[in-house]
Amino acid sequence: MTSSVKDLSLAPGGHRKIDWAARHSPVLNAVRDRYLKDGTFEGLTVGVSLPIEAKTAYLTVVLAEAGAEVALASPGPFFVQDDVAAALAERGVTVYASSDNPPEEADRELERVLDHGPDVIIDDRAALTRLLHTTRRHLLGKVRGASEETTSGVAKLRAMQDQGVLEIPTIAANDARCKYLFDNRYGTGQSTITAIMQNTNLMLGGKRLVVVGYGWCGKGIARYAAGLGARVTVCEVDPVRGLEAYADGFDVLPALEAAGFGEIFITATGGRHVLAREHFERMRNGAILANAGGVDVEIDVDALGELARKRYEARRNVEAFVMPDGRELHLVGRGMVVNLTAGDGHPVEIMDLTFAIQALCAHHLANRRQTEPGVHLLPREIDDRVAGIKLQTLGMGVDRLTPQQEEFLREWRE
């Protein structure tokens, strides 16, 4: 089927971006050459939902090179780089994506991907998997499995499993150690801070920065912000994570308290309305708000709009909300995943690891190595393999336990 993108003439810029990603993806390249070209993907269709930018594009190119027919759409128009979409269409990947499309169209584009009849799905926020179980149920039987990219998507899959409605095998790619330890922590940390700094052109040193949620993403954000001199406060609902933040050197306070003094607020929880009306009412004039979590409702943007007597574009990607008392709150990237809607996503080297994991998850499912419906982890040895390849590309390596050391660990008698 033919792609539907905004403007094919944008392709040259997209090719350059994809080539750059390819050059900086030694792990995915090694995985392609060592594992993916074994014929597994010949004649199979892979349906993909991922933000459309250079790194995700390169993953689809690699799958196509391995013999798969690949169809791709984005979870929404704010995650689409049109030049990359155009370049992909030229490289033989079927793409349904344009930054001009209204957000309500996103599900239609994802359904077009499902209409290719995928054997394997690579998913983001479980978008394709949810549609497969609702509007495209007749295609369920063909799908060998889905691999899920995000923490939020894995949560949705577990909810489906708990309710007994998940009918296909899924792999929580997000929960592979080579994914969350690097992508969620260092990737989100660096790219979220970069996006906020680039779009606001403000300084971070000395600022009171509030991170809501101290999971893997929150830890990375706090670490990068502190490294650039921000004074970081963490808000949590989990007391152990709160204590961890304290031990890492940060203040820990309820969000309502932090709302009164914070200058920059970043949410990374995967939850709903963690910053809401009562927080906005307390915030200082000029406060910057951004969301790095995987759902678009972490910051209650509707409430912000209702409170405001006026809103205007303060800078590209920064919207000002003028409160009745004259205070202005500044929202970066529409309250959506800021490092994607107002940035270039994670660093290439990070996505190289993530997509090596995703490619091997797809390979695992395509080979029917996991056939039980439910949410599964990627086998540990595959995770280890990816880390081993990465260390090799860095000219580094780790030791192996000797048989005597293994025996010592297995034995309980003195």
Ligand X SMILES: NC(=O)c1ccc[n+]([C@@H]2O[C@H](COP(=O)([O-])OP(=O)(O)OC[C@H]3O[C@@H](n4cnc5c(N)ncnc54)[C@H](O)[C@@H]3O)[C@@H](O)[C@H]2O)c1
Smallest separation (angstroms) from ligand X to the CB of 377: 15
Smallest separation (angstroms) from ligand X to the CB of 359: 18
Can residue 268 be called a binding residue for ligand X (CB under 6 A)? yes
Which three-class secondary structure state does DSSP give residue 73? strand
Question: In this structure, is the dihedral angle defined by the CA atoms of residues 391, 193, 6 and 153, taken in order, positive or negative?
Answer: positive
**319: its two tokens:** 């919207």
Can residue 75 be called a binding residue for ligand X (CB under 6 A)? no
Q: Which stretch binds ligand X (CB under 6 A): 22-30, 234-242, 327-335, 397-405?
A: 234-242
Distances (CA, A) of 187 to 182, 183, 345: 6, 4, 8
Can residue 214 be called a binding residue for ligand X (CB under 6 A)? yes
Q: Which stretch binds ligand X (CB under 6 A): 10-18, 20-28, 287-295, 367-375?
A: 287-295
- Which is nearer to ligand X, 8 or 181 (by Cβ)? 181
Can residue 269 be called a binding residue for ligand X (CB under 6 A)? yes
CB 273, CB 300: distance < 8 Å: yes
Among 94, 339, 358, 370, binds ligand X (CB under 6 A): 339
Can residue 216 be called a binding residue for ligand X (CB under 6 A)? yes
**Rounded CA gap, 285 and 126, in Å?**
38
**Rounded CA gap, 201 and 195, in Å?**
10
Using only C-alpha atoms, what is the Rg of the chain?
Answer: 22
Can residue 217 be called a binding residue for ligand X (CB under 6 A)? yes
Amino acid identity, position 177: R
Smallest separation (angstroms) from ligand X to the CB of 414: 39
Q: Under rule CB under 6 A, how many of the chain's residues touch ligand X? A: 30
User: Residue 30: in which H helix or E strand, if any?
Assistant: helix 26-31
Cα 322 to chain centroid distance, Å, stands at 31
Q: Which residue is nearest to ligand X (CB)?
A: 215
Can residue 237 be called a binding residue for ligand X (CB under 6 A)? yes
Annotation-wise, does 235 bind a ligand? Answer: no
Annotation-wise, does 20 bind a ligand? Answer: no
What is the C-alpha end-to-end distance of the chain, expressed in Å? 67
- Which is nearer to ligand X, 108 or 273 (by Cβ)? 273
Smallest separation (angstroms) from ligand X to the CB of 219: 7
Sheet with 264-267: strands ordered across = 251-252, 231-235, 208-212, 264-267, 288-291, 328-332, 318-322, 310-315
Amino acid identity, position 320: A
Can residue 169 be called a binding residue for ligand X (CB under 6 A)? no
Can residue 70 be called a binding residue for ligand X (CB under 6 A)? no
Annotation-wise, does 217 bind a ligand? Answer: yes
- Which is nearer to ligand X, 169 or 293 (by Cβ)? 293
- Which is nearer to ligand X, 64 or 209 (by Cβ)? 209
Can residue 335 be called a binding residue for ligand X (CB under 6 A)? no
**Rounded CA gap, 193 and 343, in Å?**
10
Among 145, 169, 293, 333, binds ligand X (CB under 6 A): 293
CB 54, CB 25: distance < 8 Å: no
Among 212, 259, 366, 389, binds ligand X (CB under 6 A): 212
**Rounded CA gap, 330 and 328, in Å?**
6
Can residue 74 be called a binding residue for ligand X (CB under 6 A)? no
Can residue 274 be called a binding residue for ligand X (CB under 6 A)? yes
* Residues in binding site for NAD(+): 215-220, 236, 339, 346
